[in-house]
Amino acid sequence: MQKNVLIVGAGLGGLATALRLAKKEYKVELIEKNAQAGGRLNQLKKDGFTFDTGPSFFSMSFEFKEFARDCNIELPFKYIELDPLYTVNFSDNPKTFFLYKDIKKLAAQFKDVEPDFEERMTKYLAKSGALFHDTVDLVIKNNFDSVFSYVITLMRVNSTHIPVLFRSFWQEVKRNFTSKEAQQIVSLVAFFLGRTPFDTMAIYTLLSYTEFKHDGYYNVEGGMYKIVEGIVDELKKENVKITYNTEVVDFVGNGKTLEYLIDTKGNKWSSDVILVNADAAVFRSKVFKREKYSLEKLDKMNWTMGYLTFYIGLKTKLPQVNHHNYYLGSNYEEYANNILQNPDTLQKPYYYVNVLSKYNQECAPEGCESLFFVCPVPNLLHKPNWDDKDAIVDSIIADFSKRIDKDIAPEIISRTVYTPIDWQNQFNLHRGSGLGLSHSMNQIGAFRPANFDEKFKNVFYVGASTIPGAGLPMAIISSKLAAERIEKYVL
């Protein structure tokens, strides 16, 4: 008998699981709070410009290829390897660092500050590569039924990695590099996990291997939203229906079975199996009203930082700016130690700029440029008021203008700002935390909100706050793990 699956949320996790299950003859339907699919992987079209609103590149392209193979389709979008991966600019140094994957070209960037960089990086990457290969299949791409089975699996990981459990990312990087430039640049990737190198475990130095050696970073032809459009097209071919503007707020259960969900308009949604792509902790709190996930308890969990993002259309080109760029200040340690909690750090903000139209000309009118700024900020627990958003945005625009030696303010013809309040309200993200739950030791693997429900046997979860964690390749892995759970579930 064909089983019905209802998926709550059309983010990448929900869409990818929908396709996996539809290809296995499940009858799949999605409901989504917003007017378009994608969740955080979204798009804004305004004033003739196209902006990717969240992710601007991805790593681990092989996960997307495996997804396409599993679904027996051609990958429905084209991706392009980034080279250089990105640039880094310090406020107290006129030099721009170009981060190449080619180790010799990379080492040349550091020759003045760390002459033996090549040797040091080679050694560092060998270690982070071993960490990656010893954990990815065993720990990251696996479902765990209990804490016990998780701990047993961890015991199978090569014991040479034990020391990294007791160090921070920053400590590990400092052991390997001597110059502040190399230390800061190599540790930047910890910010991609939504925390800082100072409170991210050294296990995650495996990310350095994924960016510099193993697979690098990729951009999508036509913009990142092509990933969503491509999967939605595949879902149409499988007759999967997506109902938009539908937010689930309540439920009715019967013993160990979830009978139906209720949306804001009072409509009831029932199905044999329910897969939740909304944040796995927030949904248990707001919709299932579980004591373990009360608001007070949610606030005590470790959440990732918030993001102030803004989307700028310019009536000029910026040939001097690369595709992906980081602009750092001169007080990295002080900044990183404060950014999660102290709004004062925003007096000298660090930020990232992506020029989508650099390689995707169709994303801006002729002669124009489409810019996306991301500034890490405290989430709403630590900075609930955003009345100063325009002042912060103006200060970043002024700083950027200084660094690129061109005042862009008079060239702006489109400007949109999202604060953590917008991120919270658009996608039900707890306190506007951009990447969901952080990846601290007590919030990963079997300690993360599980991808099966504690009470209802017919409810499962997919996405950033369940296993394995945040980021686009992780959403794809999460969809595989959720689909495996659903396939094993017997009505």
Ligand X SMILES: Cc1cc2nc3c(=O)[nH]c(=O)nc-3n(C[C@H](O)[C@H](O)[C@H](O)COP(=O)(O)OP(=O)(O)OC[C@H]3O[C@@H](n4cnc5c(N)ncnc54)[C@H](O)[C@@H]3O)c2cc1C
The binding site for ligand X (CB under 6 A) comprises 8-14, 31-34, 39-41, 54-58, 247-248, 277-278, 307, 309, 374, 427-428, 434-435, 463-464, 470-472, 475
Q: How far is the CB of 163 from ligand X (least distance, A)?
A: 28
Q: Which residue is nearest to ligand X (CB)?
A: 11
Residue with tokens 């004062």: 344
Measured on CA atoms in the order 297, 427, 42, 325, is the torsion positive or negative? negative
Tokens standing for residue 314 = 């310019």
Q: How far is the CB of 99 from ligand X (least distance, A)?
A: 15
Tokens standing for residue 170 = 């920053």
How many CB atoms neighbour CB 468 within 10 A?
22
Residue with tokens 């400007």: 415
Tokens standing for residue 231 = 């999967």
Backbone phi and psi for residue 166, each to the nearest 5 degrees, phi listed first: -110, 10
Radius of gyration of the chain (CA): 22
What are the residues facing 51 on neighbouring strands?
44
Question: CA 101 from chain center: how many Å?
Answer: 22
Q: Quick one: DSSP state of residue 250?
A: E
Measured on CA atoms in the order 278, 281, 286, 288, is the torsion positive or negative? positive
Q: Give the angle 439-301-459 at the CA atoms, nearest 5°.
A: 80
| Distance separating alpha carbons of residues 474 and 468, to the nearest angstrom | 6
Q: How far is the CB of 342 from ligand X (least distance, A)?
A: 20
CA distances from 416 to 49, 309, 450 (A): 11, 9, 36
How many CB atoms neighbour CB 85 within 10 A?
20
| Distance separating alpha carbons of residues 403 and 211, to the nearest angstrom | 26
| Distance separating alpha carbons of residues 7 and 170, to the nearest angstrom | 39
Q: How far is the CB of 236 from ligand X (least distance, A)?
A: 18
Q: Which is nearer to ligand X, 298 or 475 (CB)?
A: 475
Is the separation of the CB atoms in 261 and 456 below 8 Å?
no
Is the separation of the CB atoms in 145 and 118 below 8 Å?
no
Q: Which is nearer to ligand X, 201 or 207 (CB)?
A: 207
Residue with tokens 């309040």: 421
Q: How far is the CB of 155 from ligand X (least distance, A)?
A: 29
Q: Which is nearer to ligand X, 117 or 373 (CB)?
A: 373
Q: Which is nearer to ligand X, 202 or 476 (CB)?
A: 476
Q: Which is nearer to ligand X, 176 or 285 (CB)?
A: 285
| Distance separating alpha carbons of residues 468 and 446, to the nearest angstrom | 9
Q: How far is the CB of 287 from ligand X (least distance, A)?
A: 6
Q: How far is the CB of 6 from ligand X (least distance, A)?
A: 11
Q: How far is the CB of 39 from ligand X (least distance, A)?
A: 2
Q: Give the angle 201-117-213 at the CA atoms, nearest 5°.
A: 60
Q: How far is the CB of 349 from ligand X (least distance, A)?
A: 15
H/E run at residue 30:
strand 27-31
| Distance separating alpha carbons of residues 464 and 278, to the nearest angstrom | 9
Q: How far is the CB of 244 from ligand X (least distance, A)?
A: 9
Q: How far is the CB of 62 from ligand X (least distance, A)?
A: 14
What are the residues facing 489 on neighbouring strands?
none
| Distance separating alpha carbons of residues 82 and 211, to the nearest angstrom | 10
Q: Which is nearer to ligand X, 110 or 456 (CB)?
A: 456
| Residue-by-residue DSSP string for 419-443 | -HHHHHHHHT-GGG-TTSB---GGG
Q: Which is nearer to ligand X, 124 or 217 (CB)?
A: 217
Q: How far is the CB of 169 from ligand X (least distance, A)?
A: 18
